[in-house]
Amino acid sequence: MPNAGAAESRLEREIVLSAEGLTKRFGKREAVSGVSFDVRAGEVFGFLGPNGAGKTTTIRMLVGLARPDAGRVRIRGLDLARDFERAMAHVGSIVEAPDLYKYLTGRENLLHFSRMLPPGAAERIEELASLVALSERLDDRVSAYSLGMRQRLGIAQALLGNPDILILDEPANGLDPAGIREIRQLVRRLAGERGIAVFVSSHLLSEIEQMCDRVAIIHRGRTLAAAPVAELLERVASDVVRVRARPAQRAAEILAAFGPTEIEPEGAADAVAARVPPEKVPEALRRLLAAGVDVYSVERPVPSLEEIFLEITGGETV
């Protein structure tokens, strides 16, 4: 998990990937408008946005699949448009789905892509296979792999060239919870142990929150300045507290002293939603207990992406 020490030393680390004012138009519609950010060595950078916000279009520009109409991508200082081969030698990526050759085995796929890299990549195949826990299935055809195995083979493929930056587009899509946890641990290890910069896109805040050091939010083709995840959450933290307590009626009366309160209508009969400023929560709890109310849980609901974006931009662009 991210911590303060990492945040401080990050500033001295090298910028591996930088997007400068990326813009992409499809006809009259501007799918991506002036997107800029830097990703530094050893950090996991989250790129968060709802589906259709321009995430995949941005990623396609980052890896040279699409040409930006304006702006540019630099990888370790190399201009992607002008120095494609040298720049891409530092990048490993999975764009959208981990699509590999299904009629080839895992090993044949890795050999295939190692031939597109400088000599020596093929010698890493065994090591990478064990890193992504695929050693035993490496000689099976990819058509027999589960989605999670394909995702891991895709990551092994992306790591073949010893990249400085790994770009993963929605790596958790379609995976079961165990698969998601494996990917998350792998990403943290790659950043922590190997110092690789990892760029991860997602439409789920919870996923980004658990995996990333910093996050940029994209909405309708525009991004907000990247910030550490905790800071971002702090900025938008709602002061609504959800309390499960019995009797709910009595709890609502007590909490009403701190702000507007309501008993949640259906589903959870014992839940009360109340606006309580964060610093007043302990006092509110003491009063509930003193009044003989049984408290089962207290939580702060995570705001939705849409809410975060509205909160930060003040709603001006929406």
Partner 1 sequence: MRFPGLVENEILKISKQRRFRVVVLILVVLIGLIVFAQSRGRERFRRGKDWRVQTQERMAQIQNWLRDGRMPAASQRWARFELGRLQYHLERNMDPEAISGPLFARGFANAASYLLLPLLAIVFASDIVSGEFQQGTIKILLTRPVRRSRVLASKLAALLLAITLTVLFGGAVAYALGGIAYGYAGWDAPVLTGFRVAGQSFDPAGIREIVLWKETILVYGLAWFAALCVGAIALLTSVVLRSTAASMGTMLAALIAGTILPRLAPSWDAQKYLFVTNLPLPDYYSGSPPPIPGLTVGFGAAVLAAWALAATAAAFAVFARRDVLA
By CB under 8 A, is residue 91 in contact with partner 1? yes
The least distance separating partner 1 from the CB of residue 240, rounded to whole angstroms, comes to 40
Instruction: State the sign of the Cα–Cα–Cα–Cα dihedral 41, 44, 50, 56.
Output: positive
Based on the shown chain and the rule CB under 8 A, indicate whether residue 139 belongs to the binding site for partner 1: no
Q: Closer CB to partner 1, residue 89 or residue 312?
A: 89
Nearer of residues 112 and 246 to partner 1, judged by Cβ: 112
CA distance 196 to 192: 8
Nearer to partner 1, 67 or 235 (CB): 67
End-to-end CA distance of the chain: 32
Nearest distance in Å: CB 116, partner 1: 4
CB nearer partner 1, residue 143 or residue 297: 143
Rule CB under 8 A: is residue 60 a binding residue for partner 1?
Answer: yes
The Cα 195–Cα 180 span in angstroms is: 21
Cα angle: 154, vertex 157, 163; to 5 degrees: 120
CA-based nearest residue to 245, from 273, 270, 264, 282: 270
Structure tokens at 19: 């997007």
**Residue 181 is encoded by which pair of tokens?**
């946890």
Least CB distance to partner 1 at residue 248 (A): 52
Measured at the CA of 223, the angle between CA 20 and CA 235, to 5 degrees, comes to 130
**Which of 115, 246 has the CB closer to partner 1?**
115
**111 three-state secondary structure:** helix
Q: Choose, by CB under 8 A, the member of 70, 97, 256, 273 that binds partner 1.
A: 97
At how many degrees (to 10) do helices 229-236 and 305-313 cross?
80
Q: Are strands 91-94 and 165-169 parallel, antiparallel or unpaired?
A: parallel
85 near partner 1, judged by CB under 8 A = yes
Measured over the CA atoms of residue 279, residue 282, residue 283 and residue 288, the dihedral's sign is positive
Q: According to the binding rule CB under 8 A, does residue 96 interact with partner 1?
A: yes
73 vs 243 by CB, closer to partner 1: 73
x/- track of binding to partner 1 for residues 140-179 (CB under 8 A): -----------------x---x------------------
**Which residue of 3, 14, 67, 268 would you call a contact of partner 1, by CB under 8 A?**
67
Instruction: Report the residue from 103, 282, 314, 316 that binds partner 1 according to the rule CB under 8 A.
Output: 103
Q: How far is the CB of 56 from partner 1 (least distance, A)?
A: 9
> Which residues pair with residue 15 across a beta bridge?
40
Q: Is the peptide bond before 247 cis (omega within 30 degrees of 0)?
A: yes
Select from 215, 201, 195, 224 the least CA-distant residue to 9.
195
Tell whether residue 117 is a contact of partner 1 (CB under 8 A).
yes
Instruction: Mark the segment that binds partner 1 (CB under 8 A) among 1-9, 106-114, 195-203, 309-317.
Output: 106-114
- The tokens for 114 are 């190692």
Q: Which two three-digit tokens encode residue 295?
A: 């408290």
Residues 233-262 that bind partner 1 (CB under 8 A): none
- Using CB under 8 A as the binding rule, whether residue 86 contacts partner 1 is answered as yes
Q: What are the residues binding partner 1 (CB under 8 A)?
A: 57, 60, 63-67, 84-89, 91, 93, 95-97, 99-104, 108, 112-113, 115-119, 157, 161
